[in-house]
Amino acid sequence: MSSPLLFWISATAIIIVTLGVLVVALLRRRPGTAPAAGTASVALFRDQKRQLEAERAAGELDAGEYAREVDELAHRLGAEIDAPAATPAAARESRAPFYVALLLVALIPLSAALMYLALGRPAAMVATQAPPATGQVTQAQVEAMVATLAQRMKDNPADPKGWRILARSYAGLGRFDDAARAYAEAAQRGPDDADVYADWAEALAMTQGQSLAGKPAELLDKALAIDPRNRKALALAGSAALERRDPQAALRYWRALAQELPPGTDDAKDVAAAIAELEHTTGTPPATPATAPNAATNAAPASPPQAASTARLTGRVELAPSLASRVHPDDVVFVFARAVNGPRMPLAVLRFAARELPRAFTLDDSLAMAPGMTLSAFPSVVLEARVAKGGIATPASGDLVGQIGPLSSSSANIRLVIDHVLP
């Protein structure tokens, strides 16, 4: 339960309890209140009747006189009981507690509200309220939060941590130019950090067609100089080596990376599969524990370029009619392929707006996320389409997905249907 809601429930309960105590006390009959008129008349009738009975017993009244006197008493008693219970003045006096109670019910909540507005902090309460629960964060909300952070960094540019958070936010939105500039600010204003340089290299690679050549490779060298065991820098350095046609250097980087990963984890399995695939492709024998490197080393002479591949996936992606109402035209759609037995990293990715659904697609090596991790490197793949409600590549609850596979990495006429929602 949110703090504002809890506050208002508590305040309302206190007011209700207070009013209840006061109203009950006002309306309860007080001790010593005079008995009702009818009760007093009955008591008087009984006294006078007992007196008549005593006179009859003493012989002072005969039976006829006694009967007439009793009838007269009964007649007067009936008249008194039928008369109005109280005078107008008494009635007004009896209603006074009721009027006071009504006044309290009206004034106490109003007074409490006015005092809170005058002495409390309503603005603080509003500030702590979360955005309305819509089940998901919209693209507009994400962009507004990032814009707020960007303005804050403009006003306070000396915070390297803030620049790094802003850079990651830009990268999540696909604004890699802005992300690279923010990483540059973080690197300039903070201490040397291998993670910052590795992230900066990745963002720069995305701005130049996913190529790690040039400045990104220099940043990776800087990251590994700071921390030779940095996992992301080792992974990207291996991809950069493949891009420059140096599979032996890639193997050294990835073997060093494998030693940094906890055995049995998904990442360790993915890297092991990539190493095995590269060893098979290049005919390199697997490394033994005695000869396995402890860190990346300088690249060996480049191997001859590998033959080009014709791996390609073509088909049509559609949205199930039952989910049509859950998709906004501006939602982002990702169509990607990943290896069945290999890294979980997508081998090829296509991105477009949901308004284009249904749409034909083609995935090939030109759409690879990282050099060397391509469709042509894996014979069997799984194809997936996802409507990213937050507009970012990372899967999130509420995203709409569809999947098909395993497929050959050279398949045509594929029908991929987005038909379920991530929990």
Q: What is the pLDDT of residues 143-195, one digit of tens each?
A: 888 888 888 888 888 888 889 898 888 887 788 889 999 999 999 988 889 99
Distance CA 279, CA 49 (A): 124
Distance CA 172, CA 394 (A): 8
Q: For residues 381 and 402, what is the distance between their CA atoms, to the nearest angstrom? A: 14
Instruction: State yes or no: pLDDT of 218 exceeds 50.
Output: yes
Residue pair 393/366 in contact (Cβ under 8 Å)? The answer is: no
Instruction: Locate the domains of the chain by residue range.
Output: 3-119, 140-282, 312-421
**Which residue has better confidence, 304 or 274?**
274
Query: Could you tell me if 220 and 208 are in contact, meaning their C-beta atoms sit under 8 angstroms apart?
Result: no
**Pairing assessment for the beta strands 312-319 and 410-418 based on DSSP bridges:** parallel
Note the pLDDT of residue 182. 92
Does the domain at residues 140-282 carry the CATH identifier 1.10.1370.30? Answer: no
Cα separation, 123 vs 323, whole angstroms: 40
CA–CA gap between residue 201 and residue 243 (Å, rounded): 14
Which residue, chain included where needed, has tokens 């939060």? 145
Residue 200 neighbours by CB under 8 Å, 6+ apart = 167, 180, 183, 184, 186, 187, 219
* Average pLDDT, integer, range 289-297: 47
Element (H, E) at 404: strand 400-408
Rounded Cα distance between 89 and 156, Å, is 75
CB 296 within 8 A of CB 313: no
Q: Do domains 140-282 and 312-421 have the same CATH topology?
A: no
Q: How many helices (H) and strands (E) does the chain have?
A: 13, 8
The stretches of 316-388 forming alpha helices (DSSP H) are: none
145: Cα within 13 Å, side-chain hemisphere: 14
Q: Identify the CATH number of the domain defined by range 312-421.
A: 2.60.40
101-138: per-residue pLDDT in tens?
666 666 677 666 666 666 655 555 544 444 444 445 56
Burial of 294 per CB tally in 10 Å (0-12, 13-18, 19+): exposed
Length of the chain: 423
pLDDT for residue 34: 45
Q: Measure the CA dihedral 65/67/68/69, to 10°.
A: 80
- Contact (Cβ atoms closer than 8 angstroms) between residue 371 and residue 239: yes
| Spatial separation of the C-alpha atoms in residues 165 and 296, rounded to whole Å | 29
Question: What DSSP designation does 309 have?
Answer: -
Give whole-number Cα distances, 363 to 19, 352, 359, in Å.
Answer: 71, 13, 13
CA distance 184 to 200: 7
pLDDT level of residue 6 (50, 70, 90 thresholds) = low
Distance separating alpha carbons of residues 240 and 238, to the nearest angstrom: 5
Band of the pLDDT at 349, cuts 50, 70, 90? confident
Q: Got the DSSP string for 92-143?
A: HHHHHHHHHHHHHHHHHHHHHHHHHHHHS-HHHHHHHPPPP--SS--HHHHH
The 10s digit of each residue's pLDDT in 59-91 is: 777 777 777 777 776 767 666 655 554 455 555
Q: pLDDT grade, residue 273 (50/70/90)?
A: confident
